[in-house]
Amino acid sequence: MIVCKFGGTSVQDAEAMTRLAQIIHARIKQQPVVVASAMGKTTNQLLEVAQTAAKGKRQEALDLLTKIKEKHLKEAQKLGIAVTEDWVAEAISAYFKEMRDLVKGLAALRELTPRVMDAMASYGERLSTAILTQVLENNGMPAQLMDARQCIVTDDNFTRAGILFDLTDAAVAEHLKPVIKAGKIPVFQGFIGRTTGGSTTTIGRGGSDYSAAIVGAALDADDIQIWTDVDGIMTTDPRMVKEARRIKSISFNEAAELAYFGAKVLHPATIIPAVRKKIPVHVLNSYKPDQEGTIITDEAPPCENPVKAIAFKSGITVVNVASTRMLMAYGFLNKIFEIFAHYKVPVDVVATSEVSVSLTVDETSELWDIVTELKKVGEVNVEGSKSIVCCVGDNLKNIPGVPHIAFSALQDLKIQMISQGASAINITFVIDDERLPEAVRGLHDAFFKKVDPLIFE
Ligand code: ADP
Ligand code: ASP
Ligand code: MG
pLDDT tens digit sequence for 321-371: 998 666 566 788 888 999 999 998 989 999 988 788 999 999 888 899 999
Indicate the length of the chain as a whole number: 457
Q: Is residue 190 in contact with ligand 1, taking CB distance under 6 Å? A: no
pLDDT above 80 (res 179): yes
Instruction: Report yes or no: 443 and 450 within 8 Å, Cβ to Cβ.
Output: no
Q: Where are the alpha helices (DSSP H) in 375-435?
A: 402-409
Ligand with minimal distance to 189 CA: 2
pLDDT tens digit sequence for 184-236: 999 999 999 999 999 999 999 999 999 999 999 999 999 999 999 999 999 99
Q: What is the pLDDT of residue 85?
A: 66
Enter the pTM of the model: 0.94
Mean pLDDT, all residues of the chain: 94
Q: Is residue 37 in contact with ligand 1, taking CB distance under 6 Å? A: yes
- Helices and strands in the chain, H and E counts: 15, 17
Q: Average pLDDT in the 253-272 region? A: 93
Q: Is residue 239 in contact with ligand 1, taking CB distance under 6 Å? A: yes
How many Cβ atoms are within 10 Å of 182's Cβ, its own excluded?
10
Q: Is residue 268 in contact with ligand 1, taking CB distance under 6 Å? A: no
Separation of CA 263 and ligand 3 centre (Å):
10
Q: Is residue 294 in contact with ligand 1, taking CB distance under 6 Å? A: no
Atom of ligand 2 nearest to the CA of 210: 8
Atom of ligand 1 nearest to the CA of 310: 23
Instruction: Report yes or no: 364 and 317 within 8 Å, Cβ to Cβ.
Output: yes
pLDDT tens digit sequence for 38-60: 999 999 999 999 999 999 999 99
Ligand with minimal distance to 125 CA: 2
Separation of CA 338 and ligand 2 centre (Å):
31
Q: Could you tell me which residues are beta bridge partners of residue 6?
A: 36, 227
What ranges make up the beta strands (E) of 119-256?
Answer: 143-145, 153-154, 185-189, 192-195, 200-202, 223-228, 249-251
pLDDT tens digit sequence for 11-42: 999 999 999 999 999 999 999 999 999 999 99
Q: Where are the alpha helices (DSSP H) in 250-307?
A: 252-260, 271-276
Cα–Cα distance, 191 to 184 (Å, whole number): 22
pLDDT above 70 (res 380): yes
Ligand with minimal distance to 391 CA: 1
Q: Is residue 190 in contact with ligand 2, taking CB distance under 6 Å? A: yes
Q: Is residue 233 in contact with ligand 1, taking CB distance under 6 Å? A: yes
Residue to mutate (ligand 2; options 5, 128, 191; most atoms within 8 A of CB) = 191
Cα–Cα distance, 146 to 106 (Å, whole number): 28
pLDDT bracket for residue 406 (50, 70, 90): very high
Cα–Cα distance, 280 to 377 (Å, whole number): 45
Angle separating helix axes 42-54 and 114-138, nearest 10 degrees: 150
Separation of CA 328 and ligand 3 centre (Å):
44
Q: Is residue 37 in contact with ligand 2, taking CB distance under 6 Å? A: yes
Q: What is the pLDDT of residue 328?
A: 60
Atom of ligand 2 nearest to the CA of 208: 8
Q: Is residue 129 in contact with ligand 2, taking CB distance under 6 Å? A: no
Q: Average pLDDT in the 298-321 region? A: 93
Q: Average pLDDT in the 117-121 region? A: 98
Ligand with minimal distance to 20 CA: 1
